[in-house]
Structure 1
Amino acid sequence: MVSVERAEAADFETFVRLAIVGAGAAGLTAALAAREAGAEEVVILERDAAPSGSTALSAGLVPAAGTRFQKEAGIEDGPELFAADIMRKAHDEPDADLVQRVAAASGPTVEWLADRFDLPFSLVADFSYPGHARRRMHGMPSRSGQELVDRLRQAAEDRGCDILCDSLVETLFVGADGRVTGLAFARPDGAGERLGVGALILACNGYGGNPALVAEHIPELSQALYSGHQGNRGEAILWGAAMGAKLRHLSGHQGHGSLAHPAGILLTWATITEGGFQVNVRGERFSDESRGYSEQAAEVLKQPEGIAYTIFDERIAAICRQFEDFRNLEAIHAVVSAATIEELAEKLKLPAETLGKTMRAFEAAKGPRRADARAGGGSPLDRAPGEDRFGRKLAGTPRLEAPFRAARVTGALFHTQGGLVVDGKARVLRADGTAISNLYAAGGAACGVSGAAASGYLSGNGLLTAVTLGRIAGEAAGGEA
């Protein structure tokens, strides 16, 4: 049972200088930064049998601006442009100072992890993500979040950080002066332990695994599949609320309109950005897919049966194969192949005539205005060249060519973006704006930079705040410890 209770530092028999709740990307990055800042003792408490969290369920891609990896690819980028992209996508809702802080920290943090801890980052240089003016996604060789977690865990263990798995933190203790004094956690056998702390970092992600909180704050996705970590129960915001902390943008979240169904594996959005499209069970398109995969989740769920089919081709599939998830989907035959659009319709059990019209209209919108664009509905004079009837900009997009590929998908909730408001040192702020001096938050526990709606999520925002705020919190808390 999540709770906050009163206790003073002298009430604890066992004490640690710095404790971190959560061993995902945020917690492990924080631990590494704390050790570098001089913390002699760092204990990470992880509820699972091994570190994983939402990071392990993602593609493990961290957006970062101005890195040497970009420069090697001939890409000019910088924090200012990155921050502008974040603010534009989030409708200027996030705190501008926080956005500037994480954008400026992104490049140095990725290079620090690469240089100091041998994380083999490389740039995704062959396609762009929605909303990013530059190609700035950095990931592990497998393009797998599990690999990112595993390498961070190994680095933390190599540097003397203690990771206590199967340790579910349930209670935080606060002294009369408002500082956190300790915590209590439970073991799988039900045994409980108490631990006094000098400083505490909350890196336990958001509340996507708590149906009651999802229904309260994101009712439109209350019946959607949750594809994040089931352990994300919202402890950080519940503790924060009990301590009088300031909470913001709790309705903010990342959805995804491309979760393979029923496989439950993410189909990369490169299928769309490289020139693919989505149809419903009637074989009809229903939206501008290019706006972003987060807001597309609700669009897909509005369709009959909450199902869509992503249509692409072999050229796009070749790009997607750099992602382990896509290779896994092909291995289980969740990606359907066909030599013609008619054969594809038959395999997907979609009406062939409608799917054919939809395909012709979509392809026509990629070039000059043509009469056959009427197949998509409306007059070709109603829209600009290179734009379809939903307003999707398609000029210059490569045409789809046989053999064609498709996957059955649904919309899902991936993780929440709102949370505890933090200052420039990642310290948790009270409702009156003062800081709880020894309590820090990072990653999904902290209010992110996506604003209050799904449409505000810029690709990679989750891991962006995980590693940048993780490093900032670790440096500050490690120095205090």
Structure 2
Amino acid sequence: MKRLTSILLSLLIVGSSVLGGCKNKNTSEGKTPESSAATSSVAAPTDKEADIVVIGGGGAGMTAALQASQNGAKNVVIVEKMPQTGGNTVYATGGLNASETSVQKKLNVKDSNQSFIDETIAGGKKLNNPELVKTMVEGSAAAVDWINQIGGDLSELGRSGGMSVDRLHRPKGGAAVGPMIVKTLNENIEKENIPVLLNTTAKEIVLNDKNAIAGVKVADASGEYTIKCKAVVLAAGGFGANSDMVVKYAPNLKGFGTTNHKGATGDGIILAEKANAALVDMEKIQTHPTVEPSTSVMYTEGVRGDGGILVNKEGKRFINELETRDVVSAAILEQPEAISFLIFDQAVREKLSAIEKYINLKIIEEAETPEELAKKIGVDPAAFAETMKAYSQAAASGVDKDFGRKEMKSKLDKPKYYAGKCAPAIHHTMGGVKINTVCEVLKADNAAIPGFFAAGEVTGGVHGGNRIGGNAMADIIVFGRIAANSACKYVEANGGYTEPSIVLEEAETPAVPEVKGNFKDGEYTGKGKGNNGDIEVKVTVKDSSIVSIQVTKHSETPGIYENAEKNVINSIIKKQALKVDTVAGATNSSKGIMEAVNNALNQK
């Protein structure tokens, strides 16, 4: 029987697996939140032990934990402060940049590691740590193979801004890469029985009298305790959602929106600094150029890479759309009202399935002709039609005389035509903890802190002054695996592996009513509005109580939605109430499920 990845520490029941993998449940002595709330005192949590503690359950953290387990380290635990895994990774849409890969070879795409290195450093304004770039690039092909080997899908190629070759590896049909990566990692972490402590915050990295790693102080609903360990892999992400921290290092970004998930607050960087780690490139913060202003939804770079263009309020192009993100962002800010419109046609939509999310969110205007589309977005129809005609001719000839764009995969002449309003928003923080090529965390004098390793957006130096789209995914997988390998070597050299000591629960039983309901027996269907579109449910009532709620259709974001489904449905069944608490980070999905159940049971 599969074990649930969480120790008996918290009073809260946090929901099911992310995307069907990595089931997590925090309890205290097997009590539900209701029974625990009625208890006047709860025993203080006791300290635990592990070989490796991974701080952060995003892409880098899960990669590190999984690789460590594959290496033979079975006493590994992930500490994640949010109620679900995934972090910013689940929002990634474009792909994973890699060179000299098996996929490129199969598709007859010629590439070289040196070209990838050169373009990454050029895109980073030559401010990157060249050794870290070389390490990332030389490990990128193996990263693609590893993801595919563990059940992922990086079988298709695209191109991101700043790259001259198709090296953006993505799922078939151009689907969003992040949800696929999160799903794949979670499923494998479930198989490996790696504990994931959700709603658990790392409070302090504990060093011994030799200034080497000794443990991590954490806190959950049951209180504070220490997980004693030999090594720590810090993978807590960046600080793009911490506006105060952003402004501290880059005052010019005050007032900017963000594409980051709410947990990207820089906690790991602060922890590391208190543990004597040096920081680098903290002022280097990237804005993504194509973000829908009212919702902060980011349009994947793949839309432009597959042929989309940008026009301003005058209906005119103003930039080579495949320039690096910083260049495109700056150009948009110079346009009237500091906004632009991302334009694409039916041909682009058909080869990039990630676009369907934007359609479902109703943030895209569509029309049968350029003139009609221009009227809908409020630009001059004649000017816009002329822009579309000129671009179509340029794409047909292969020569963009206006802006020198070399890759024009679509002539943008296939109805329907689409437009999405966009403006820059804070997207990626290039600065963070200083590391070397084996992911050791370094002090100001470049000496490594024994047993301390880091990977992902929490680190600095890889991307320099600007990150190339698709390089974050390469970063988290390549360095996540390296951090795991280094941590394992350290553990092996300092006493070796121990047997798993974290107590895990067996799979929990389905929710059952805790009070008597007052509903009419039968099966009902209903529909509610979620974050990305309609959520449809089938509700079964027996002996006046709701006994089953099944979601039959939805288009919510994988990696975020599943926790809402589990917790909201369980709460409705247990309490026999149509209004229950929403799940943090998935409020709209939670409300959509409640609305669907309510509509199902209140049909006239």
- TM-score, scaled relative to structure 1: 0.85
Q: Does 2:415 align with 1:399?
A: no
Q: Does 2:313 align with 1:281?
A: yes
1:438 is matched with 451
Using the alignment, how far apart are the partners of 2:146 and 2:156 within structure 1? 15
Gaps of 5+ in 2: 1-45, 492-604
2:434 is matched with 421
Tell me how many residue pairs correspond in the alignment: 443
Q: 1:457 is matched by which residue type in structure 2?
A: R
Query: SS state of the match for residue 272, structure 2?
Result: helix
2:207 is matched with 174
- Cα gap change, 1:37 to 1:398, in 2 (>3 Å): closer
Deviations 1:214-260 (A, max 9, x none): 11223333322111121111122222333332221223334221123
2:469 is matched with 459
Query: SS state of the match for residue 468, structure 2?
Result: coil
1:319-338 → structure 2 map (5 Å cutoff): 319-321=351-353, 323=354, 326-338=355-367
Q: Identity of counterpart residues, as a percentage?
A: 26
* Contact in 1 for aligned 2:230/2:451 (Cα 8 Å): yes
Structure 1 residue 394: Cα displacement: 5.2
Q: Does 2:265 align with 1:233?
A: yes
* Contact in 1 for aligned 2:321/2:405 (Cα 8 Å): no
* Contact in 2 for aligned 1:426/1:469 (Cα 8 Å): yes
Q: Does 2:227 align with 1:195?
A: yes
Q: Does 2:379 align with 1:350?
A: yes
Deviations 1:405-440 (A, max 9, x none): 211222211221211121121000111011001110
Structure 1 residue 34: Cα displacement: 1.1
1:215-294 → structure 2 map (5 Å cutoff): 215-294=247-326
Structure with higher RCO (Cα < 8 A, 6+ apart): 1
Using the alignment, how far apart are the partners of 1:60 and 1:44 within structure 2? 26
Structure 1 residue 22: Cα displacement: 0.6
Structure 1 residue 261: Cα displacement: 4.0
Query: SS state of the match for residue 237, structure 2?
Result: coil
1:371-410 → structure 2 map (5 Å cutoff): 386-388=400-402, 391-393=403-405, 398-403=410-415, 404-410=417-423
Using the alignment, how far apart are the partners of 1:271 and 1:158 within structure 2? 35
Q: 2:169 is matched by which residue type in structure 1?
A: H
- Cα gap change, 1:332 to 1:102, in 2 (>3 Å): closer
- Cα gap change, 1:185 to 1:436, in 2 (>3 Å): same
Structure 1 residue 346: Cα displacement: 1.2
- Greater CA drift, 346-355 or 18-27: 346-355
Moved over 6 A (4+): none
| Residue of structure 2 aligned with 1:149, choices 158, 178, 182 | 182
Using the alignment, how far apart are the partners of 1:235 and 1:413 within structure 2? 18
Using the alignment, how far apart are the partners of 1:20 and 1:397 within structure 2? 42
- Cα gap change, 1:60 to 1:304, in 2 (>3 Å): closer
* Contact in 2 for aligned 1:18/1:199 (Cα 8 Å): yes
- Cα gap change, 1:400 to 1:146, in 2 (>3 Å): closer
Using the alignment, how far apart are the partners of 1:40 and 1:398 within structure 2? 49
- Greater CA drift, 268-277 or 307-316: 268-277
Structure 1 residue 387: Cα displacement: 2.2
Q: 1:425 is matched by which residue type in structure 2?
A: V
| Residue of structure 1 aligned with 2:481, choices 463, 471, 478 | 471
Structure 1 residue 277: Cα displacement: 2.2
1:52 is matched with 86
Using the alignment, how far apart are the partners of 2:140 and 2:437 within structure 1? 15
Query: SS state of the match for residue 56, structure 1?
Result: helix
* Contact in 1 for aligned 2:116/2:137 (Cα 8 Å): yes
- Cα gap change, 1:145 to 1:271, in 2 (>3 Å): closer
* Contact in 1 for aligned 2:287/2:425 (Cα 8 Å): yes
Deviations 1:437-475 (A, max 9, x none): 1110100011142212xxx32121211111111000001
Say what the alpha-carbon RMSD is for the aligned residues.
Answer: 2.4
- Cα gap change, 1:110 to 1:396, in 2 (>3 Å): closer
Using the alignment, how far apart are the partners of 2:385 and 2:129 within structure 1? 46
- Cα gap change, 1:42 to 1:395, in 2 (>3 Å): closer
- Cα gap change, 1:186 to 1:106, in 2 (>3 Å): same
* Contact in 1 for aligned 2:347/2:414 (Cα 8 Å): no
* Contact in 2 for aligned 1:220/1:298 (Cα 8 Å): no
Deviations 1:322-357 (A, max 9, x none): x2xx11212243322222222111111223244344
- Cα gap change, 1:23 to 1:416, in 2 (>3 Å): same
Deviations 1:52-83 (A, max 9, x none): 20000112622222221221111233322322
- Greater CA drift, 346-355 or 51-60: 346-355
Q: 1:95 is matched by which residue type in structure 2?
A: N
1:110 is matched with 144
* Contact in 1 for aligned 2:308/2:410 (Cα 8 Å): no
Using the alignment, how far apart are the partners of 1:395 and 1:22 within structure 2? 38
* Contact in 1 for aligned 2:155/2:170 (Cα 8 Å): yes
Query: SS state of the match for residue 475, structure 1?
Result: helix
Using the alignment, how far apart are the partners of 1:86 and 1:417 within structure 2? 13
Structure 1 residue 262: Cα displacement: 2.9
1:158 is matched with 191
1:318 is matched with 350
Using the alignment, how far apart are the partners of 2:234 and 2:370 within structure 1? 50
Query: SS state of the match for residue 257, structure 1?
Result: strand
- Cα gap change, 1:285 to 1:140, in 2 (>3 Å): closer
Using the alignment, how far apart are the partners of 2:305 and 2:180 within structure 1? 25
- Cα gap change, 1:162 to 1:299, in 2 (>3 Å): same
Using the alignment, how far apart are the partners of 2:407 and 2:93 within structure 1? 29
Q: 1:401 is matched by which residue type in structure 2?
A: D
Query: SS state of the match for residue 289, structure 1?
Result: coil
Deviations 1:276-316 (A, max 9, x none): 32223333434332213454234334444443211222222
Using the alignment, how far apart are the partners of 1:205 and 1:271 within structure 2? 26
Q: 2:378 is matched by which residue type in structure 1?
A: K
1:128 is matched with 159
- Cα gap change, 1:409 to 1:269, in 2 (>3 Å): same
Q: Which has the larger radius of gyration?
A: 2
2:544 is matched with none
Query: SS state of the match for residue 148, structure 1?
Result: helix
Using the alignment, how far apart are the partners of 2:405 and 2:184 within structure 1? 39
